[in-house]
Amino acid sequence: MSRADRLAGLLEERDLDSLLVSNLVNVRYLTGFTGSNGACVVSRDERLFLTDSRYVEQAKQQVRDFELLEASRELLGDLAQRLRGRAGFDDAHVSVKAHGLLASKLADAVDLVPAGGLVEQLRAIKDDSELAAMRAATAVADAAYDRLRQDGLSGRTELEVARSIVRFLEDEGADEVSFPPIVAAGAHGALPHAEPRDEEIPHAGDRPARRAPERGLRGRAGGPGGGARGGARRGCLQGGRRARARAGHVGVRDRVRPRSRARGRVGGARGAPARTSSSAAAWAARTTS
């Protein structure tokens, strides 16, 4: 059973005749489309995907299980004409302005009702392709830290290290970084979202027992119809022979569109639990700078 078919089954539970899916995270999950302008309508007997002329050829290659329709760049008017009966929309993502425009274009017999969370309900249970993408994303993030351990940190600037992380992730096949790397040394490392500076990371002996960089990383590796974000955070303490390192939480985040913020949680409703990587612990045990 396809994802769209499973979604159609949920419409009956909400007493809906059709559902508008306009959030690009959910559109990609259902259709495989990775462009920036597309939406779909799902009903018990129809699966429609709409996009404008810029993305038609791309959609022909990516979209599956849906009938492809070309629309204007302002999709809402065309989408409104495709909705039937009790038509659900995602009230968590549709703006007030968009809702007003959509409502003004509906046929008289169509009743627009809030129906957020239906696609997310499906996304909470990961299939084999999603699990594989999540494992790949985590592996790329772990490999980036292995490279940092090999290249070292002392004497390099925070900005240089951050840029090297991005280059490594892309060279290893990640689609893009899904969160800017955080590289921060000393007191700067106390900032949860520190921005890398063009300042040199001190050597261990410069200041005894000084707290060295805490390095945050978010990397992404995706597959057809949906990808995954792998995130890892490492911190280390420098201090000569007493240098110690610790491995932080390695999270895996659901990734179905650029800049998605849906996190995987341990035992949570977001789907497969975030994992602590075994290689993270090994990295921490070996790192002293």
Last residue of a domain, one of 91, 123, 155: 123
85 and 137: one domain? no
Lowest mean pLDDT across 15-24, 167-176, 213-222: 213-222
Contact 106, 89 (CB under 8 A): no
Q: Is the pLDDT of residue 119 over 90?
A: yes
Give the whole-angstrom CA distance, residue 172 versus residue 177. 11
pLDDT recorded at residue 85: 95
Contact 230, 274 (CB under 8 A): no
Q: DSSP label at 268?
A: S
pLDDT recorded at residue 40: 96
How far is residue 188 from each of residues 10, 145, 257, measured CA to CA in Å? 49, 20, 31
At residue 35 the predicted structure's pLDDT band, cuts being 50, 70 and 90, is very high
CA angle in degrees (0–180, nearest 5) for 200-203-208: 125
Domain span holding position 60: 3-123
Q: Is the pLDDT of residue 2 over 70?
A: yes
Check which CATH number belongs to the domain holding 39 and give it. Answer: 3.40.350.10
Per-residue pLDDT tens digits for 125-134: 999 989 998 8
Last residue of a domain, one of 64, 94, 123: 123
124: which 2 tokens?
A: 């909470």
Last residue of a domain, one of 75, 91, 123: 123
Residue with the larger pLDDT of the pair 190 and 62: 62
Per-residue pLDDT tens digits for 197-238: 999 988 765 543 333 333 333 333 222 334 666 556 666 554
pLDDT recorded at residue 286: 39
Count of structural domains within the chain: 2
Given the DSSP bridges, would you call strands 86-89 and 111-114 parallel, antiparallel or unpaired? parallel
Lowest mean pLDDT across 102-111, 114-123, 186-195, 280-289: 280-289
pLDDT recorded at residue 74: 84
Residue with the larger pLDDT of the pair 246 and 178: 178
Per-residue pLDDT tens digits for 48-103: 999 999 999 999 999 999 999 999 888 988 999 999 999 999 999 999 999 999 99
For range 281-286, the mean pLDDT: 36
107 and 46: one domain? yes
238 and 267: one domain? yes
254 and 180: one domain? yes
pLDDT recorded at residue 203: 78
